[in-house]
Structure 1
Amino acid sequence: MKNKVLLCLFPALLFGAGCSTVNEPPPKQVAKAVKPKPVPPRAPVQKPQPYTAKKPAPASGTATYAIDDGKNNFKVEPSLPAFRAEPLMPPADPVPVPEAAVPALPAFAVEEARIPTGTPPAVVALLTEADRNRASGNLDAAVVSTERALRIDSRNPTLTYKLAQLRIKQNKPQLAEELAGKAALLAGSDLDLKRKSWLLIAEARRMQQNYQGAKEAKAKSESFFGR
């Protein structure tokens, strides 16, 4: 019985509670206090500085120069000591070579050569004229006559040898050596003319101060037996 009464009262209580809640004003919203977030400090803004050219550091051992501002004259400040020119020394005189150090050789005798038999008369006449001019000291005329005879008989070794003799007397040892060498080749089996030609070569080399070559030519002349 009690349960039935409770069941009947329960809906009435619920209805009454609902009406009381509808008439009540809504609760006021309370604003929550929000703490502001800390703002990080800003970096100070640097103002751009005007561009100034850097002065190059002066290198060691070089000159430094003052900056010209347009008011002062240009000035050079050298960092090196002043150069002082030293007087030039005169060249030393060459040491003279003592005469005893140069091996001296005595002059070699230049022998005469006979005109071979069978020589053309025109050549004999020219050689006779050359001998006469040589005896009188006119060596140039003697050379001209001998060269004319050689143009007639160019293969005659005696004419070549006589021209070499004249070059020796003219103090032209290089020409004399060349002519005497040619005469030795043209002499062939004439050993006496070969010997005389090599002896003349020895004298020409001695005049050129080729003493070793002169000794060799003298030894070569002694190797022939047509004396």
Structure 2
Amino acid sequence: MTKLRNAVLAGVLITGIGGVGVLTATPAFAEIVATPAGTLISATGPIGQDLDVAMTGTAWTLSEPTGIISVELGLPAGTVWRNSFNGVPGTENSPGNPDKGFATTIDGVNYNLFPHSLTGIWTLQINTTGLVPTITEVKIPTLKLGQTTPAPLQTQLTFNIKQLTGEPEISGTFTWTDDQPAIPVIAPAIGGAAAIAGIGLAGIVLVRRRRTAEQA
């Protein structure tokens, strides 16, 4: 776990009898703690449709300010991150190469969505002016997840703020399904009447036609 800042002193010197100093143990580092609050909303859509990755509820609140936050988003197999922040495209980190990610600025806060150079895990980096500790809460903008395989797919997406104490984590399930409209099925006629196994306009029309034929 990354230590976010050094404490002022690694110990406190107390003067004892005869002027001898005694070093008492105190934590060498202080770590920022985030209180998880938001919820990642699960989403479902037809094959090929982009799904909004949205977080509801209040933002993560930090116990003390920091200058930069990294949130691991991951990228499940068969999916791809789109260039979209709250529905508005950002700029490509490498023009013409969306695989390198995207960046934008919203209300003075910089957001950079990119694959980590070592782990390959997609990360959302949030900062204001570099390492200046001014971030006191973290709110994830609505991102957009696309599908690269034209087939039904269900996957789980998880957000982790890895460098903070407690490692707050939220997750949601995203599903792409086939469109399967209900098809009316007409059962064989019994005693001159047809039983409808599936309700639909087509079934009603077929029944009316059969009754008309019987009357004729």
TM class by shorter-chain length?
under 0.3
Larger Rg: 1
Structure having the larger proportion of residues in helix: 1
TM-score, length of structure 1 as denominator length? 0.18
The structure richer in strand per residue is 2
TM-score in terms of structure 2 length = 0.18
